[in-house]
Structure 1
């Protein structure tokens, strides 16, 4: 887990994620919205792995990377995705407020 991330709550605030990215922490944002939703709006650094494809693609993910899952509003699909990644032995957390909050701030 990146040093500045304190796992004291269920999700990561956008400000914490921005700071970690600025410090070049080893983080990958996974946007779990469907392709059309992703193309409509996403965090620039995010890769798109729709939630319904995540389980089949987990084996291709690097266990040394810290994953931040994101959906539109945060708290739905992103929570499920972070749980799925953790169950597979990966380090993951979901983004509070999702893509919408990130884009409002940045």
Structure 2
């Protein structure tokens, strides 16, 4: 599925894997903050998300690591890269 389409049509759940402090400095509206180091211990919570997961961070590096780990757990997820890019697509969302 097309990542941009998932975001603009509000079909996914956005998880920001930056630290809490980074997240509080600015984030995508309605995104969830699960710092990268907490991903393994919150795997059950993540598995309960029924929509495709879009991961983001500052540059795409940490979200790429999270995407690799979650994919190995059988979870459908996408690396959205920078939260600023995801935020741009979200701003184009159909209301």
Higher relative contact order (CA 8 A, sep 6+): 2
SS in 2 for 1:68: strand
2:9 to 6, 15, 20: 20
TM-score, normalised relative to structure 1: 0.72
**Which digits, 9 at most, give the CA deviation of each residue in 1:39-91, with x for residues without a partner?**
001101210000000011011222633111000122x0000011111111110
Structure 1 residue runs of 5 or longer lacking an equivalent are: 7-11
SS in 2 for 1:84: helix
Contact 1:63 1:89 in 2 (8 A): no
Tell me the equivalent position of 2:17. 32
Tell me the equivalent position of 1:71. 57
Count residues with an aligned counterpart: 89
Tell me the equivalent position of 2:84. 100
Two-structure CA RMSD over aligned residues (Å): 1.9
TM-score, normalised relative to structure 2: 0.80
